[in-house]
């Protein structure tokens, strides 16, 4: 069926004309290729800015990073990772002490509880090792698809999905790659048009570009390497 209709998407501070046709996926695949090419030139090392040494430390840093900048998380984890050397340290510490150790990040009460809960579950159910599948990671408290994708990609080199945070959400919409707000649907749209080998890279590249150029309030269109191909350059 050759569906073809136009629709207005009024999100992220502007109106973007989007198209839904059988050719839309093809168009988006081509645009995505250009986006990857352009962003890779700007950000040649697309990887997380979070600092970690072990799989569990990546989990801790990722849990702490929700609604918090990576720079702030790194400030907190530097002394934290010196103090807590193993998963057992997190599992056995007094929860109030752990809360105090991370209390300069947003929502530290819940984050500390989830970190300790994850440590205990990993010891009890996964022989003390951070599990390496989406299904198992989603069993850990406080771990949803975004965190699981970051851990799979960053710790295990597995591209199972695309981590969708607030930057990825905003840029995917502005760049016309999706018209959804729900992260799970955005992830599906992006997975459909992105080569699997690039899933981890795409997330990092959109995050870097969202922080530096395509910011939420005042996107710097004139400084943007994607200007020519972006359907939101007039917002």
Where in the sequence numbering do the catalytic residues fall?
A: 146, 165
The CA distance from 44 to 6, in Å, is: 36
**230 forms part of the interface with ligand SF4 (CB under 6 A):** yes
- Mutual angle of helices 183-193 and 145-156, in 10-degree steps: 40
User: Given the rule CB under 6 A, which of 44-52, 59-67, 146-154, 223-231 is the region that contacts ligand SF4?
Assistant: 223-231
Nearer to ligand SF4, 93 or 201 (CB): 201
CB of 207 to ligand SF4, least distance (A): 13
CB of 217 to ligand SF4, least distance (A): 12
Torsion angle defined by CA atoms of residues 210, 224, 189 and 70, in that order, rounded to the nearest 10 degrees: -20
**214 forms part of the interface with ligand SF4 (CB under 6 A):** yes
The site for ligand SF4, by CB under 6 A, has a size of 13
CB of 115 to ligand SF4, least distance (A): 34
**40 forms part of the interface with ligand SF4 (CB under 6 A):** no
CB of 22 to ligand SF4, least distance (A): 25
Q: Within positions 168 to 207, which residues make up the interface with ligand SF4, using CB under 6 A?
A: 174-175
CB of 41 to ligand SF4, least distance (A): 14
Nearer to ligand SF4, 39 or 98 (CB): 39
User: Given the rule CB under 6 A, which of 96-104, 148-156, 183-191, 220-228 is the region that contacts ligand SF4?
Assistant: 220-228
Nearer to ligand SF4, 97 or 216 (CB): 216
Nearer to ligand SF4, 43 or 108 (CB): 43
Letters for 127-166 (x = contact with ligand SF4 by CB under 6 A, - = none) are ----------------------------------------
SS (H, E, C) 88-157: HHHHHCCHHHHHHHCCCCCCHHHHHHHHHHHHHHHHHHCCCCCCCCHHHHCCCCCCCHHHHHHHHHHHHC
> Where does this chain bind ligand SF4 (CB under 6 A)?
174-175, 213-214, 219-221, 224, 226-227, 230, 232-233
């Amino acid at each position: 069926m050759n569906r073809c209709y136009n629709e207005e998407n009024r999100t992220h501070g502007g109106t973007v004309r989007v198209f839904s046709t059988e050719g839309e996926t093809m168009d988006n695949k081509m645009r995505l290729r250009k986006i990857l090419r352009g962003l890779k030139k700007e950000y040649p090392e697309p990887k997380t800015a979070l600092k970690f040494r072990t799989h569990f430390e990546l989990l801790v840093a990722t849990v702490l990073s929700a609604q918090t900048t990576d720079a702030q998380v790194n400030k907190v984890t530097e002394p934290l990772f010196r103090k807590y050397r193993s998963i057992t340290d997190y599992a056995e510490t007094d929860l109030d002490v752990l809360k105090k150790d991370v209390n300069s990040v947003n929502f530290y009460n819940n984050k500390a509880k989830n970190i300790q809960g994850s440590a205990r579950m990993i010891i009890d159910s996964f022989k003390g090792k951070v599990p390496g599948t989406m299904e198992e990671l989603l069993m850990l408290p406080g771990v949803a698809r975004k965190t699981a994708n970051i851990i799979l990609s960053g710790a295990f080199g597995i591209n199972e999905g695309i981590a969708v945070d607030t930057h990825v959400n905003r840029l995917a919409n502005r760049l016309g790659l999706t018209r959804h707000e729900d992260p799970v649907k955005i992830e599906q749209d992006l997975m459909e048009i992105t080569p699997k080998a690039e899933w981890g890279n795409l997330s990092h590249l959109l995050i870097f570009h969202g922080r530096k150029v395509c910011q939420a309030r005042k996107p710097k269109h004139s400084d943007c390497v994607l200007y020519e191909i972006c359907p939101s350059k007039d917002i």
